[in-house]
Amino acid sequence: MTLSAGGDAIQELTLEELRNKVGTGMEIEDAEEHMLLSMGPQHPSTHGVLRLLVELDGETVVNLAPDIGFLHTGIEKNMEAKTFTKALVMTDRMDYLSPMSNNLGYILAVEKLLGVEATPRAQAIRVILTEMQRVASHLVWLGTSALDLAAMSVFLYCFREREYILDVFEMVAGHRMMVSYFRPGGLWRDVPEEFETAVRQFLDFMPAKIADYEALLKNNPIFLGRAKGVGVISAEDAISWGLTGGSLRGSGVNYDVRKANPYSGYEQYDFDVPLETDGDVYARYRVRMEEMRQSLRIIEQALNKLPDGPIQIDNRKIVPPPRAELGRSMEAVIHHFKLWTEGFNAPEGFVYQAIESPRGEFGVYLRGNGGSKPARVHFRAPSYVNLAALPKLSKNLFVADVVAIIGSIDIVLGEIDR
Amino acid sequence: MNPDEVIVSEIEKAFPEAIEEVSEFRGERTLYIRKADLKSVCQFLRDQQSLQYNFLTDICADDMLPEFPRFAVNYQLYSIPRNHRIRLRVRVEDPEDGPETVGSIWAIGTWLEMEVWDLMGVRFKGNTSLRRLFLPEDWQGFPLRKDYPLGYEEVQFSFNFDEINAKKPHATKD
């Protein structure tokens, strides 16, 4: 007997079984000559622990099946055992490149279920931080996908600027990545005084940096050769495959949740939805680069008219009382105790709240049953949906192109597996 | 007539018996559709020129224990040209006898149904790709069901290796 912990998780497959899994069922010519390649789960270009089963004819991809679940931690199930507030921390851990967006989606769903709306100041701060998160997430995407396409230096510059954003997050939330800063009814605490200066500084230097990244890539023949005309998907197919975010807009479909169903006051801000029509890796790259610039525009507008006022709603059944009140008000002590032991009760009913995360439409289905814990939480994870189109995008291309395409659909495995 | 009413009247015109119930909560309209009609209603919603629900956002199942019918499957539809969302909800009594697959209407349907089957165990008629996706191939049960405990797995050390190995469904006697 051998100790092979987890060894059984990776199943050995034959080509026949792979074809059954993928479900093409077509007659393939020269099928005996084909080989089965297992890419990942520890492959650096799969951006996490994604395993791809690839059927190859020479170097051409005939069939491809994603094998996922290596990071499955049962987040949806776990959240059912926690109160609404405590379950929030699990959303940070799904899409670990954009915890702010996950927090926002979940919190907006909770607030919708409760029937409350955050204060204007809280909403504006939420917008600023989620847009900064979008830039940070796109920087990781740009760095890693350029790295996959043999442009090493971009990665280093991207991470330098991302570090600045994470420092701002640490300043407001005390955490760089697992922030949990948005709370039902508002924010954990107000932003510190230095916040505005720090964000203004970011807005000052960032446009030049984005231009730098583009300068590094736009004349790079290897990058262009591997990005242009690769992994093409038409607008019609992109819709049918449920692509969202930059992957959908790269095919020329104008759908952005921030414009279509504005939340958190996005309707007040003036910004464009970048569109490209080619639908290839290069188009998706262009869309995301432009998205970063649009995010800066939104941050600037939100910061310029950042309203004063409370950061939490005035409802003690949802929002805990300030620390100072606990010393002199019995009622505050009771509210504090109730909220941190039992939590607040949400009415019976179910809601669906969508937001535009850096990867696409992040949707939260939330059902309450009158108690203090969610009866069912389901996440429409954009990475999970976008991954489904990978076999279609990579058909009849080279293995090296699959690497470029994975980079361009911008997946995060933590969010896929949940 | 607002878009929510348009869709109800259009469906009622084409499938008089399909809508079991219409509910509204927090401004979101949910149409309860009879299970047998789901696929044709979906096809109709996508193809009808006045509706054009061309985007299947999400499918998720809900375990309503102790209610009967126990399971419910939600289809979040979105129409990009009309910028309108609607939710179809199908009640399912027997999870082995679920609704028909919508994979032929929206390509993403198959993939979304695979997640539902893996975690909630609702089988979609006509979807041949249903297999363990997140969980290991030999996993027993469906974790998102309410009668599935949020339990723990005993850690396997060398002193209790055989004891735990014997409990595993794929245990080999060697």
Is residue B170 situated within a structural domain? no
Task: State pLDDT tens for residues A168-208.
Answer: 999 999 888 889 999 998 899 889 999 999 999 999 999 99
| Token output for A258 | 């921030």
Judged by CB atoms closer than 8 Å, whether chains meet at A351 and B28 is answered as yes
Task: State pLDDT tens for residues B37-70.
Answer: 889 999 998 888 888 888 999 999 999 888 888 8
Closest chain B residue to the Cα of A5, Cα to Cα:
B156
| Token output for A57 | 């004819």
Judged by CB atoms closer than 8 Å, whether chains meet at B54 and A240 is answered as yes
Domain count, chain B: 1
Q: Choose among A69, A75, A72, A71: nearest CA to A11.
A: A69
Q: What is the DSSP letter of B125?
A: B
Measuring CA to CA, how many Å separate A251 from each of A159, A244, A273, A280, B90?
28, 10, 13, 8, 33
Mean pLDDT of B152-162: 80
Task: Look up the ipTM and state it.
Answer: 0.84
Is residue B44 situated within a structural domain? yes
Residues 21-40 of B with CB under 8 A from A: 25-26, 28, 30
A20, A240, A257, best to mutate vs chain B, most B CBs in 10 Å: A240
User: How far is residue B117's CA from residue B98's CA, in Å, rounded to a whole number?
Assistant: 10
**How big is chain B, counted in residues?**
174
Domains and CATH numbers, chain A: 10-67 (no CATH), 87-312+347-417 (1.10.645.10)
Q: Which residues contact B115 (CB under 8 A, 6 or more apart)?
A: A384, B59, B133, B134
Helices A152-173, A194-218: axis angle to 10 degrees equals 170
Task: State pLDDT tens for residues A281-338.
Answer: 999 999 999 999 999 999 999 999 899 889 898 888 889 888 888 889 999 999 999 8
A239, A411, A416, A418, best to mutate vs chain B, most B CBs in 10 Å: A239
Residues of A in contact with B129 (CB under 8 A): 21, 23
| Token output for B166 | 């014997």
Q: What is the 3-state secondary structure (H, E, C) of A29-69?
A: CCHHHCEEEEECCCCHHHCCCCEEEEEEECCEEEEEEEECC
B63–chain A Cβ distance below 8 A for any pair: yes
How far does the CA of residue B129 sit from the closest CA of chain A (Å)? 6
Bridge partners of B87? B30, B76
End-to-end CA, chain A:
33
Q: Which residues contact A119 (CB under 8 A, 6 or more apart)?
A: A186, A309, A310, A311, A312, A313
B112–chain A Cβ distance below 8 A for any pair: yes
3-state secondary structure of B26: coil
How far does the CA of residue A387 sit from the closest CA of chain B (Å)? 10
Is residue B59 situated within a structural domain? yes
- Domain CATH for B78: 3.30.460.80
Is residue B149 situated within a structural domain? no
Per the structure, the complete domain to which residue B81 belongs is given by 3-134
How far does the CA of residue A63 sit from the closest CA of chain B (Å)? 15
A103 residue type, one letter: N
Is pTM beyond 0.95? Reply is no
Give me the numbers of helices (H) and strands (E) for chain B, helices first please. 4, 5
pLDDT band at A1 (very low <50, low <70, confident <90, very high): very low
CB-based contact A254:A356 (threshold 8 Å): no
For residue B36, the tally of other CB atoms under 10 A from its CB is 12
End-to-end CA, chain B:
71
Q: What is the pLDDT of residue A8?
A: 41
Tell whether the model's pLDDT for residue A269 goes beyond 80.
yes
Alpha helices in A115-254 (DSSP H): 120-148, 152-173, 194-218, 221-227, 235-240, 246-249
Measuring CA to CA, how many Å separate A370 from each of A184, A239, A267?
16, 37, 32
Is residue B101 situated within a structural domain? yes
Q: What is the pLDDT of residue A4?
A: 33
Task: State pLDDT tens for residues A86-110.
Answer: 999 999 988 888 999 999 999 999 9
